[in-house]
Amino acid sequence: MTLSIQRVALLATLVALCVIVLGAYVRLSHAGLGCPDWPGCYGHITWPAQSQEIDSANLNFPERPVETHKAWKEMAHRYLAGALVLLVVLINFLAWKPAQRYQNLKLPAALILILILLQAALGMWTVTLKLLPMVVTAHLMGGMTTFALLLWFAMKSSRPGRYNPSNTIRKLRPAIIAGLAVLIVQIFLGGWTSANYAALACPDFPSCQNSWWPQADYSEGFRIQREIGVDYEGGVLDMDARVAIHWSHRIWAVVTFVFLSILSFRLLRTPVLQRAGLALMALLITQVSLGISNIVFYLPISVAVLHNGMAAVLLAMLIWLLFRSSPQRY
């Protein structure tokens, strides 16, 4: 049976989503430095498990004793990311074959390969630069971008011939693009909140620190460049800076909810996209509920991981809508 580039792309898209969710679990369970070296773990291909291996690792890395429950999580994430790299390489092999049907898939495949290699470098720097917030956030955004591009690639490889959306659907394209931009900003703010350990800076809801305009240090909270060599695990910012980050994420969540709700209502008024409108609204309400639950229930890891995963699903929904409203030519 001929290996289908579409099936490989769909599998890679699913794996990319799993990498995002597992990465969130690793980060939120404070296992990002569960292995202080890269690409191995305390000098092992897997992680130290036997008492002799643990003793040797502790001797070689006295500044960070082995915590097996963190090390295996970090390595599982690396293995899954490695599998994604191999799938992207396979996509490129299939796309660049001389007999490949879709010649215009070559450059997108190469772009995804370059991006996934950059992601690998960011993964390494996340460890070697000790969870530097700028690198951690860039790694998250790179993962989301890889997932989005793989989804677009999978959809593009499945549509033969020429496709032109109706005028009604085409008119929605600017609103979809704007909604996607709003969502991307919110995902960045969420990543910056997590990277700086600011998720619980506002422990009350809907106010923050019992105020509707809390004391906050925005210049410090959003200072991108930080000192290299510092261990950023647990965060280093004072409370005012963390409040600035958290409150910005929460305020932009309102903007995102309003904007995407309007888009959802417009979809509901378009006969062929009514189900998409309902799906978008359901995803939006679920995501907001998870965000509120993170605060009310003091950041339970299961809810926090679902919140990260739902952000990726919302992104996928908007990428699908963008594709649905885009003319395609082969």
HSE-CB for 125 with a 13 A CA cutoff:
16
Token look-up 């890395």 returns 61
Q: Is 65 exposed, middle or buried (0-12, 13-18, 19+ CB in 10 A)?
A: exposed
63, 74, 227, 233: which is the annotated catalytic residue?
A: 74
Distance, in Å, from the CA atom of 218 to the CA atom of 216, rounded to the nearest integer, reads: 6
Tell me the C-alpha to C-alpha distance, in Å, between residue 155 and each of 89, 98, 105, 162, 186. Answer: 18, 21, 11, 14, 25
Residue 80: count other Cβ atoms within 10 Å of its Cβ.
16
Distance, in Å, from the CA atom of 122 to the CA atom of 137, rounded to the nearest integer, reads: 10
Cβ atoms 288, 257 nearer than 8 A: yes
CA dihedral 81, 84, 89, 94 (to 10 degrees): 180
Sequential DSSP letters for 13-46:
HHHHHHHHHHHHHHHHTT-TTSSSSSSSBTTBSS
Nearest to 152 by CA among 119, 117, 187, 104: 104
Catalytic status, residue 74: yes
Query: 44 forms bridges with which residues in the sheet?
Result: 41
Q: Is 58 exposed, middle or buried (0-12, 13-18, 19+ CB in 10 A)?
A: middle
User: Which three-class secondary structure state does DSSP give residue 208?
Assistant: strand
Distance, in Å, from the CA atom of 105 to the CA atom of 94, rounded to the nearest integer, reads: 10
Cβ atoms 233, 227 nearer than 8 A: no
The residues assigned a catalytic role are: 74
